[in-house]
Structure 1
Amino acid sequence: MIANTASPSTPVSYLLHLHLDLVARAVDHNPDKGHKTPAEFAREGRYNYVPSFAPAVVFCVIYAIAMTINLGQFIRHRAWFWWVMNFAIALELVGYIARAVSVKHLASRDVFIVQLVLILVAPAVMAAACYMSFGRVVVWVIPREYQSARHLWVPARRVTPIFAGCDVLSFFVQVVGGSMIASGNTPAKINRGRNVVLTGLALQLTTFGFFVVAALRLLVLLRTRLRTIPLPQERNWPLFLVMVNVANVLILIRTTLRLVEYAMGNSNYLLNHEWYFYVFDSVLMFFVVLVFIVFHPGHYLPYLGFKRKGLRFSDNADKGLFASLARGTKIPPGMVQMDARDG
């Protein structure tokens, strides 16, 4: 039983542990579980289709490669704030490993739950990486007089805490709904819990949707009101900002479809076809990871430490396969080879 494992030592692992425990109990209380014949359960397990082993293995390999590359970039650029993306990729990797194991051991409830939860929550962690990247671009690039809520809709130095705080709130709402589902002993109580979960998902989608609009609006602001104002030229930060918005849109599409999937109940076309999961979750989230491998913040941004102290770039900002994309337009590349240590 997951509920009997050792107590996690960090807030993030505690929340994940709690969510796994609630989902475990929810699976046990799922009224649809008993609707399968023994033969159907032997073929499908707790999935709504006969799951495929090969795609799960493919994404295990893909995310293992992505994890290796990201850890290398993380250390090479000393981009300590980017631990969030590394954590998200680790969640995806472990999730797909668990999915591959689950396909071969369909009767295992715990392995099914691990793959379900980790793959479900990883994109929210990727969204947090987008918040942090966007906040660092704004604090560095935008003149102080334009960093207010009037121009950006959110104060520049409050981007990460505000949006991350809303994410945590939506997570707790989902936990409450999950506990209601887990403890519900009638269809009415279980449906009430499902509605609370949907409220949490809707809150998460609303928060991220607002962030996407605010980030896109900054692109408009740069082309209108800030068009004639001198802005930093050390790095090709406009390209990086565009790619942050590309990642935002991919996560938004995935989150919207997940909300629709949950809103349609226990059995629907999206939930009953595995191709939908791989195309609109697995592939889309890998594209987000790929975007930040090619356009890594270590090539584009200062403030790579946990605290934004001084205009410091990575020593390796101009080294690597994709470094030429990040070079500024006026200042020679050698001028940005500054110490990346935070303090």
Structure 2
Amino acid sequence: MGDFQLYKYTPTMAGAIIFGATFIVLLGYNIFIIFQSLSKVNLQTRGSRPYNKNNESSLSLSQNNVWRFKKQVLPMFIPLMVGVLMEAVGYFARTPSHGNKQLLTPYIIQSILLLIAPSFIAATIYMVFGRMMRLLNASDYSIIKFKYQTTFFVVGDVFSFFVQSAGGGMMSQSGNQDLGPKIVIAGLIIQMIFLFFFIFSEIKFTYLINKMPTTASYGNIKTSTMNLAPTDWKILNSTLIITSILIFARCVVRVVEFAQGFNGFIISHEAFIYLLDGLLMIIVSFLLLRVRPELVMFELMNQEYLEEASYNVLSSLQA
């Protein structure tokens, strides 16, 4: 490595442990609420009959929603859990550097994981938004063809992830200290471009659904169905906008950091990695978990099927 310094300061052990432990708590909370939500939705349909298109009672329809919940909703939170785990490992990896700033392996681990973890968290946001729009029958409010919307954002997110990973790995290699940051900046800019279009999509959706509400968006899911979710889709939508903006702001900070170079102000002051990266990701993760998006979507599923069942009953009475 020659005279090249991995850190321009002595990494704090206390900060690394506190932030690493905080992300571990968030990961544990994430796992807990997933199992809790699964238990709640299973309890709602205990003793009900299997779904049968010829018997569309609310119980059978609700049980079909449990299957959809397991197969379509819960997997969306895997990227979030992976991202939170990466954040935890990344901050814990900084602890050995407190005693030896030139340890290469911990530096590479924390550098890459803290850089790419938000991409995984953003992937969950993209998928939740797409599923919510579908359940609200608001696919016409998408800025691109709806069937490609989630794929478009997730693929862009994955692409930026690979570019950032490549740049992060090169930064610690002798002779690549100039090229590595440039590749990281390119990856961050790609992520920011997709985040910008996503935020625009969210804001456009919010405007249109308030101006021209869909039938599904009228219902108050906290009172009209099973009352499992602590919030409704409007609060969930606002949370998705806020968390997207926070991730975007974090990307701006990291772009400025790498643009300034290894002797820049941001990279030379440890506080930035905690306050304008780690803290923002803690807030993002907590907000996503707090609004319980999985239960909001389950309530929307039940509202959708209860309305369908009611329509079928009315149709049969009129026949």
Which TM-score applies when normalising by structure 1?
0.68
Deviations 1:56-102 (A, max 9, x none): 11112211211111111122224332112111111111111111233
Instruction: Provide the C-alpha distance between the structure 2 equivalents of 1:284 and 1:176, rounded to a whole number of angstroms.
Output: 24
Contact 1:56 1:96 survives alignment (8 Å): yes
Displacement of 1:168: 2.2
- Indicate whether 1:269 and 2:256 are aligned: no
**Aligned partner of residue 257 in structure 2, secondary structure:** helix
Match of 1:52 in 2: 12
**Kept after mapping to 2: 8 A contact 1:63/1:92:** yes
Cα gap change, 1:111 to 1:177, in 2 (>3 Å):
closer
Contact 1:74 1:83 in 2 (8 A): no
Distance 1:113 1:179 in 2: 7
Residue 143 of structure 2 is matched in structure 1 by: 153
Q: TM-score if structure 2 supplies the norm length?
A: 0.73
Extract unaligned runs of 5+ from structure 2.
Answer: 39-73, 223-231, 307-319
The equivalent position to 2:94 in structure 1, one of 99, 113, 120, is 99
Number of positions where the alignment pairs a residue of Structure 1 with one of Structure 2: 260
Alpha-carbon shift at residue 137 of structure 1 (Å): 0.7
Note the C-alpha offset of 1:179: 7.6
Structure 1 residue 184 displacement after superposition: 8.0
Q: Secondary structure of the residue that 1:122 maps to in structure 2?
A: helix
Higher relative contact order (CA 8 A, sep 6+): 2
What SS class does the counterpart of residue 253 from structure 2 fall into?
Answer: helix
Q: Percent of aligned pairs with the same residue?
A: 25
Higher helix share: 2
**Which residue of 2 is the match for residue 22 of structure 1?**
none
Superposition deviation, residue 200 in structure 1: 2.4
Q: Is 1:72 matched with 2:32?
A: yes
Hey, what's the Cα distance between the residues in 2 that align with 1:83 and 1:182?
29
Q: Is 1:215–2:202 an aligned residue pair?
A: yes
C-alpha separation in 1, matches of 2:88 and 2:75? 20
Is 1:136 the equivalent of 2:136? no
In structure 1, how many angstroms separate the alpha carbons of the residues matched to 2:153 and 2:4?
Answer: 41
- CA distance, structure 1, for counterparts of residue 133 and residue 121 of structure 2: 19
> What is residue 334 of structure 1 aligned with on the other side?
none
- 2:9 match: secondary structure: coil
Quick check: 1:67–1:89 contact (8 Å CA) kept in 2?
A: yes
Q: Are the counterparts in 1 of residues 199 and 241 from structure 2 also a CA contact under 8 Å?
A: yes
Match of 1:298 in 2: 294
Cα 1:111–1:312 change in 2 (3 A) is farther
The CA distance in 1 between the partners of 2:296 and 2:187, in whole Å, is 34
Q: Residues 74 and 49 from structure 1, CA distance in 2 versus in 1: closer, same or farther, beyond 3 angstroms?
A: same
Is the aligned partner of 1:195 residue 2:182? yes
Shift of residue 226, structure 1, vs aligned partner: 2.7
Aligned-pair distance for 1:262? 0.9
Q: CA deviation at 1:120?
A: 1.1
- Which residue does 2:42 correspond to in 1? none
Measured after TM superposition, the shift of residue 301 of structure 1 is 1.0
AA of the residue aligned to 1:80: P
Quote the offset at 1:233 in angstroms: 3.1
1: CA distance between counterparts of 2:262 and 2:84?
28
**Root-mean-square deviation over aligned CA pairs:** 2.8
Deviation per residue, 1:139-185 (Å, 9 max, x gap): 00134xxx24xx32123332221111112222344456568778885
Q: Say whether residues 1:169 and 2:159 are aligned partners.
A: yes
- 2:239 aligns with 243
Q: How far did 1:123 drift?
A: 0.7
Alignment partner, residue 326 of structure 1? none
One-letter amino acid of the counterpart of residue 291, structure 1: L
CA offset digits 1:269-308 (Å, max 9, x no partner)? 11111111111001111001110221121221139xxxxx
Q: Give, in whole Å, the separation in 2 of the partners of 1:55 and 1:216.
A: 36
One-letter amino acid of the counterpart of residue 72, structure 1: F
Q: Which secondary structure state, in structure 1, belongs to the residue aligned with residue 11 of structure 2? A: coil
Alignment CA distance shift 1:176-1:67 (3 Å): closer
Give 1:224 deviation, angstroms.
1.5
- The 1:118/1:180 distance shift into structure 2, 3 A limit, reads closer
Q: What is the Cα deviation at residue 222 of structure 1?
A: 1.8
Alpha carbons 1:141, 1:232 under 8 Å: kept: no
Separation (CA, whole Å) in 1 of partners of 2:37 and 2:122? 21
Deviates more, 1:294-303 or 1:124-133: 294-303
Contact 1:139 1:157 in 2 (8 A): no
Q: Please state how far the C-alpha of 1:106 moved relative to its aligned partner.
A: 2.9
Change (3 A) 1:191 1:96: closer
Q: 1:264 to 1:192 in 2, by over 3 A?
A: same
Change in CA separation of 1:123 and 1:274 when aligned onto 2, cut-off 3 Å? same
Q: Distance in 1 between matches of 2:15 and 2:236?
A: 31
Task: Report the Cα offset of residue 214 of structure 1.
Answer: 1.0
Alignment pair present for 1:84 and 2:53: no
8 Å CA contact retained: 1:95, 1:118: yes
